[in-house]
Amino acid sequence: MKSLVRWGTTLGLVGSTLLAIVFSGNAPVLALPEQQIAEKLNEVPVFLLTNPQGVPLTRTLPAAQNGQKNTTVADVFMNGQEAQAFLEELRKQKDPKIVDMVKTLQVKPVPMGVIYKKLQEDKNKPDRVLFALQPGQQDLQGAVTLLRQKGQEVKQLIVPVFIVQSADKGYVSVKRRSNNQEIVPLFLSQKDAQGLLNQIKKDIPKAEIQVVDIEGVIQTLQQKNDEWLKQVTLVPSSESLEYISKQPRTNAPNTAATPAIKPKPAATTPTQPKK
């Protein structure tokens, strides 16, 4: 059967990496139009530190670290609470320049698809801003633990994505409560994936959680032409949605409706990737 992401037993640098690596280059065959890929990514809110005008806080990556000239980088947090904690640490700095710079900063939720489109538009510009993904630490550590339990050596994991699969490695599909549409959910939260796993364990006792990387997911959407990939839906973490719900409405991202999901009936087997 086909897998969403093909990878070996050794993974690269754990944690933050430049998002331009994920989105750079021209895919030879597009499974989905760029707009549809962006729409899938728009399901996921990410968090930037910005001024009131929406300009993100950036830092300079010295040439010695990237082998080229100095690069401007903006941090993209997957977890809103961790972005807020980072901002609070910046506000504790004693340097007057830093104090003045951060006093008007805020945590701004932005759809991931917006960043994807920005990188696509600017990928050939020499002075473009790169984005460094900062994964949620709890989910990152949970993903590392799951991978090591399966005997994988973990050296690279940018942002973990959690997929519930059956014993024969077919991905478990679910239906949206809103329109009964069948989807294959890719969770950004281990806790949320575990919730689905707990629901289906009675009917699919050998189901388990597979960990893949957001980089591989995006590359698969860019390069593969399997029909079943149209069902793939990124599910933002319930924690991120809760954080956003507590923010002023002017701070809310323009994301698509979050899929409310339910397991398929017990008699229905996990969906196999279509050929």
Token pair of 134 as six digits: 């900062």
The answer as to whether 108 is a domain residue is yes
Please indicate, yes or no, if residue 49 is contained in any of the structural domains.
Answer: yes
Report yes or no: 22 and 41 within 8 Å, Cβ to Cβ.
Answer: no
Check pLDDT > 60 for residue 8.
Answer: no
| Longest distance between any two alpha carbons in the chain, whole Å | 65
Instruction: Write out pLDDT tens, residues 160-190.
Output: 999 999 877 688 888 887 788 889 999 999 9
Q: Which of 74-83, 124-133, 155-164 shows the highest mean pLDDT?
A: 74-83
State residue 14's pLDDT score: 36
pLDDT in tens, 211-244: 999 988 998 888 887 888 888 999 999 999 999 9
- Average of per-residue pLDDT values in the chain: 78
Where in the sequence is the domain holding 196, given as residue range(s)? 10-263
Does the structure show a pLDDT above 80 at 22?
Answer: no
State the Cα angle at 108 between 138 and 33, rounded to 5°.
Answer: 85
Residue 260 has pLDDT above 50, yes or no: no
- For the ranges 135-149, 178-192, 197-211, 246-260, the lowest mean pLDDT is seen at 246-260
Could you tell me if residue 42 is inside a domain? yes
Residue 269 located in a structural domain: no
**Count: domains in the chain:** 1
According to the model, what pLDDT value does residue 9 have?
A: 25
Residue 169 resides in a domain: yes
Q: Which two tokens stand for residue 226?
A: 């399997």
Does 102 fall in a domain?
A: yes
3 occurs within a structural domain: no
**Residue-level pLDDT at 169:** 67
What the block records as the tokens of 175 is: 């239906």
3-class secondary structure per residue, the chain: CCCCCCCCCEECCECCEEHHHHHCCCCCCCCCCHHHHHHHHCCCEEEEEECCCCCECEEEECHHHHCCCCEEEEEEECCHHHHHHHHHHHHCCCCHHHHHHHCCCEEEEEEHHHHHHHHHHHCCCCCCCEEEEECCHHHHHHHHHHHHHCCCEECCECCEEEEEECCCCCECCEEECCCCCEEEEEECCHHHHHHHHHHHCCCCCCCEEEEEEHHHHHHHHHHCCCHHHHHEEEECCHHHHHHHHCCCHHHCCCCCCCCCEEECCCCCCCCCCCC
Can you give the pLDDT at residue 68?
64
Cβ burial, residue 29 (10 Å; 0-12/13-18/19+): exposed
Beta strands 58-61 and 45-50, pairing class: unpaired
Q: Kindly indicate the confidence band of residue 27, based on its pLDDT and cuts at 50, 70 and 90.
A: very low
Token pair, residue 26, equals 């021209």
Tell me the pLDDT tens digit for each residue of 41-85: 999 999 999 988 888 988 887 766 555 677 888 899 999 999 999
Q: Is residue 145 part of a domain?
A: yes
